[in-house]
Structure 1
Amino acid sequence: MILATIIGMAIVTMVPRFIPAFIMEKVQLRPWLNRWLNAIPFAALGGLIFPSILTVIPDEPWIGLLGGVVAVIIALFNVNVIFAVIGAIATVFLLTF
């Protein structure tokens, strides 16, 4: 019974993820809608990351903000995202050291 429940939950979870992948190949969206949909991952990441930037060190939120600014500046150079992450981590580490 437990195995059937796990398999059922996997199917229910995967179906909504697979259907758009097959449908979106055949649908042509308007350019403005396509740009809007492409911006959603960035907005979600911003919503997830920004609160953590402010609370990286509870008593000193400016350190997290400075690390975030360094990450944004590095990202503006269109380098790999790992370099922006490493730059932000290094900035926070050096400011707390």
Structure 2
Amino acid sequence: MNPWFGVAIMATVTHLMRAVPLLAIRRRITNQWMLSFLHHLPYAVLSAMAFPAVLTDAPSSTTGLVALGVALVLGWRGHDLSRVVLGAAPAIGVAEALQLLV
């Protein structure tokens, strides 16, 4: 099968998933539960994608836990995502260097 055909299918499906709700819901959402759900949804999806990667992509589980701890502290203190990443990534390097010394 031609790879461009697969790319076209994926692009169409992605576009439909984004366009259909915008076309189907024309009035303002006033339901408080739905507003709260839509507000928290991006954070939940980002966490579901990032949490396993932090623990499995690090050189060892110890360094992954250190990076997770740094990220949680920075996020809890209200830093934006770029600062959380820029704080957690060097934490992996420092934890790995300290682990090599021991």
Q: Say yes or no: TM over 0.5.
A: yes
| 22-31 vs 73-82, which moves further | 22-31
CA change 1:90–1:15 in 2 (3 A) is same
Unaligned runs of 5+ in 1: none
Task: State the aligned residue count.
Answer: 92
TM-score by length of 2: 0.70
Matched residue, 2:19: 18
Aligned residue number for residue 32 of structure 2: 31
TM-score, with structure 1 as normaliser: 0.73
Structure 1 runs of 4+ with >6 Å offset: none
- Structure 2 regions of 5+ residues with no counterpart? 98-102
What's the counterpart of residue 55 of structure 2? 54
**Does structure 1 retain, via aligned residues, the 8 Å contact 2:29–2:35?**
no
Shift of 1:88: 0.3
- Per-residue deviation, 1:89: 0.4
Q: What CA RMSD, in Å, does the superposition of the two structures yield over aligned residues?
A: 2.5
